[in-house]
Amino acid sequence: NTVKETLQNTALNVKSYALITKQAHNVSFSLFPSSTLNHPFAFSECPPLGLESLKVKDSQIQASSYKRMGLGPHRGRLNIQSGVEDGDIYDGAWCAEYKDQNQWLQIDAKKLTRFTAVILQGRGSIWSLDYVETFKVQVSNDTIKWKPCMNATEEVVFEGNKDSDTPVLAILPKPAVAQYIRINPQTWFKNGTICLRAEIMGCELPDPNNIYPWQAEEGTKDKLDFRHHNYKEMRKLMKSVNEMCPDITRIYSIGKSYMGLKLYVMEISDNPGKHELGEPEFRYVAGMHGNEVLGRELLLNLMEYICQEYKRGNQRIVHLVEETRIHLLPSMNPDGYEMAYKKGSELAGWSLGRFSYEGIDMNHNFADLNTIMWDAIELETDKSKLINHYFPIPEHYTSEEAMVASETRAVISWMQTIPFVLSANLHGGELVVTYPFDMTKDWAPKEHTPTPDESFFRWLATVYASTNHVMSDPDRRPLCENINPDSITLPVSSSVGMNDFSYLHTNCFEVTVELSCDKFPHASELPIEWENNKESLLVYMEQVHRGIKGVVKDRDTEAGIADAIIKVDDIDHHIRSAFDGDFWRLLNPGDYDVTVTAEGYFPATQSCRVEYEHYPTICDFHLTKTPKQRLREILAKGGKIPKDLQLRLRQLRIRKLRASTKLINRRRASHMMNELGPVLFLCTPLSLFDLRLSTDGAVELWETSTTNGIIFI
């Protein structure tokens, strides 16, 4: 009676869609207002079962038939991608062997589920055009008796796809409660065959026969804002974090998108707005592809979490904030995100919002410094003249006519302004960590092209992957799409990306983290995704303190020396000191000989040992000016030259004069011998002579000592 009264008193126009479940002494019910049943977002109350995210296992998907293994039912997942070639074991859909209306794709939800909608997509292929135009839906609890989805007295025939890429949502006229659901194609593209990718929307229900209380899926205990944030909501959340922790946070913008949306960064530091001597700079970048949204939400959650835990006195977070200057850019491509956000998590597809508003893929929009480096290595005969760091950007790339996104230019300027030490670029659509060089030398797929810092990059990738709950799961698929079944920490072939650019143009080491198989996970998945990545995000930031750090100073004035070159023996990649002389060199544990050079100074070398603890080894350097540099500075100030410097300069001039005189004499002697031709001198016994060149160019014999024998010259 209580339930009945509640239904009667509600302001909603309730039809017979109330699901009532009695368990022990508790009664729960859900209301489905008829006014919203046909709304495009009505299905969002129930999350996806997880075909796209791989939450649904391969064994839970069956089919009436399939053409071959690569087109089996396990490939019928929303947004799954095929390889470059058709016909392998990693194709882009489930395709039935026969063309008739008896074909079906079946999903076992494993538990009693309230199915609310089906999302359909055609075959992912650049060579074939296959999609289902209309289909039916049936449900069952035993796979023997199937109940069709009805609209009053007629079986519903749902509208399917009109192309192979755009996802289409079909909302069931009435939610169906069952364990199994089938998709039964009725018509398909006339020049193609029956192929589809799918996702099922449904809410898991408690088992009425279970004597134990039903428990929801485990999520997280952290009280964070777990939902998708559009541009305005993102800005509002960042502002609320700043207001909650004003002493350790600062919001700033590095530029604007093509459509004028600001690229906001949250800075977290015990002294925000200022680079502190000896404190490393760290950055996370997310949302380079606007439809890969998990990184965006993780960074928003991360700034919330750090603020909360810092206020609680969590010593790990307090130490991180006090010893590191952290920069979080949650959305590098806000224009693309807004496009994907309007479609929603399941309907954005694989590429909507990936590119900038101008149609530029920012992941392949950075200057190609790799080719410049490799060409120089091949052409230069004297390897000592080669540079191995701070490669300049080509002039054509910086021109206004160059096809470079405004967002890319803003990030490059940001890189050049702040002396970042470590970074990660957060993506989605796969589960893998990649590191430089992403671009392969010969553009060959899977070609391993290591950097001189290969061992440290591998450590960075392993640190993130091994602490990620999903990546480290030994029972999961090697990779989401099974296109590139390599280790989770190996680099992959790519073109001019941010990883390589950061390594070759700045001091900063950077990896790319592919966070999830699902580019745009449902909001209900965000708490567990936070739990999957929280430790990885924190422990990766802590790696900025591994290696050596120090300050390069002038021995006389104690002033910091900017742009000093820090060289580590046996690692052919140098870094440079920041504007106030401090530097950070990421290194694995071990003993290293480190040499520092700077223009106008004598070089200095010392041994530095890196320990296994999470704190850097201090290696400070004091450099002595060369006499020439001292003279330049004195003359520039209009001062007098000290006597010790005058003496030193005189000694250097005399030494240089002697060296140049010897060189001139050798050249004259060589010239005279060439003019005279071969000469044979027969010297008398018991005498030893020197052959000398006089000041007027004459050849003279000088007796120096006596000995036994005859000398022929």
Average pLDDT for 310-339: 97
Alpha-carbon Rg for the chain, nearest whole angstrom, is 35
Q: Which residues contact 15 (CB under 8 A, 6 or more apart)?
A: 32, 34
Which tens digit of pLDDT belongs to each residue from 407-453? 999 999 999 999 999 999 999 988 999 999 887 777 666 678 899 99
Q: Are strands 420-427 and 509-514 parallel, antiparallel or unpaired?
A: parallel
pLDDT reading at 394 higher than 50: yes
Q: What is the pLDDT of residues 505-521, one digit of tens each?
A: 999 999 999 999 899 99
d(CA 91, CA 81): 7
- Render pLDDT for 544-559 as a digit per residue (tens, 0 to 9): 999 999 999 999 999 9
Region of residue 157 (phi > 0: left; psi between -120 and 50: alpha; otherwise: beta): beta
Q: What pLDDT score was predicted for residue 24? A: 39
Cis bond before residue 437 (omega within 30° of 0): yes
**For this structure, is 338 an active site residue?**
no
What pLDDT, in 10s, does the model give residues 556-585? Answer: 999 999 999 999 999 999 999 999 999 999
Instruction: Calculate the average pLDDT of the chain.
Output: 84
For the entire predicted model, the pTM comes to: 0.80
Active-site annotation holder among 279, 281, 510, 514: 514
Task: Please say if the pLDDT value at position 23 is more than 50.
Answer: no
Sequence-distant (≥ 6) Cβ neighbours of residue 133 within 8 angstroms: 159, 160, 161, 162, 186, 187, 188, 189
110-136: pLDDT as tens digits? 999 999 999 999 998 888 899 999 999
**CATH architecture type of domain 231-545:** 3-Layer(aba) Sandwich (3.40)
> What CATH class does 38-204 carry?
mainly beta
Q: What is the token pair recorded at 41? A: 């977002």
Neighbours of 711 (CB within 10 A): 13
Q: Which amino acid is at 250?
A: R
Predicted local confidence at residue 445, as pLDDT: 62
pLDDT of residue 655: 74
pLDDT, position 127: 85
pLDDT digit string (tens) for 249-300? 999 999 999 999 999 999 999 999 999 999 999 999 999 999 999 999 999 9
Q: Contact 80/62 with Cβ under 8 angstroms?
A: no
Q: What angle do CA 100, 103, 108 make, to 5 degrees?
A: 170
Q: What is the pLDDT averaged over residues 53-62?
A: 93
pLDDT at 86: 67
Say how far residue 51 (Cα) sits from the centre of its chain.
25
At residue 648's C-alpha, the angle toward residues 645 and 650, to 5°, is 110
- For 10, phi then psi, to 5°, come to -70, 150
User: What angle separates helix 643-676 from helix 627-637, to the nearest 10 degrees?
Assistant: 120
- Pick the closest to residue 321 from 387, 248, 252 (CA basis): 248
Q: Which of helix, strand or coil describes residue 46?
A: coil
Percent of the chain with pLDDT strictly greater than 70: 80
As a CATH number, domain 548-625 is: 2.60.40.1120
- DSSP-derived pairing of the beta strands 61-63 and 105-121: antiparallel
473 pLDDT higher than 60: yes
pLDDT band at 634 (very low <50, low <70, confident <90, very high): confident
pLDDT at 678: 54
Where does 351-441 show beta strands of DSSP type E?
Answer: 420-427, 432-434
pLDDT at 656 over 50: yes
Let me know: does 346 contact 522? Beta carbons within 8 Å.
Answer: yes
Is residue 294 a contact partner of residue 428, using CB atoms and an 8 Å limit? yes
DSSP secondary structure of 228-240:
---HHHHHHHHHH
Is 683:711 a contact under the CB 8 Å cutoff? Answer: yes
C-alpha distances (whole Å) from 118 to each of 160, 181, 190, 305 are 10, 10, 23, 36
Q: Looking at residue 691, what is its pLDDT?
A: 56
pLDDT at 2 over 50: no
* Tokens of residue 237, six digits: 């959340």
- The pLDDT tens digits for 488-504 are 344 444 457 899 999 99
In the 8-state DSSP scheme, what is residue 545?
Answer: G
Interval 161-220: pLDDT, tens: 999 999 999 999 999 999 999 999 999 999 999 999 999 999 998 866 665 554 545 678
- Answer whether residue 103 shows pLDDT above 70: yes
Shortest CA distance to 82 belongs to which of 439, 354, 484?
484
**Interval 669-701: pLDDT, tens:** 666 656 555 554 444 444 455 555 555 555 555
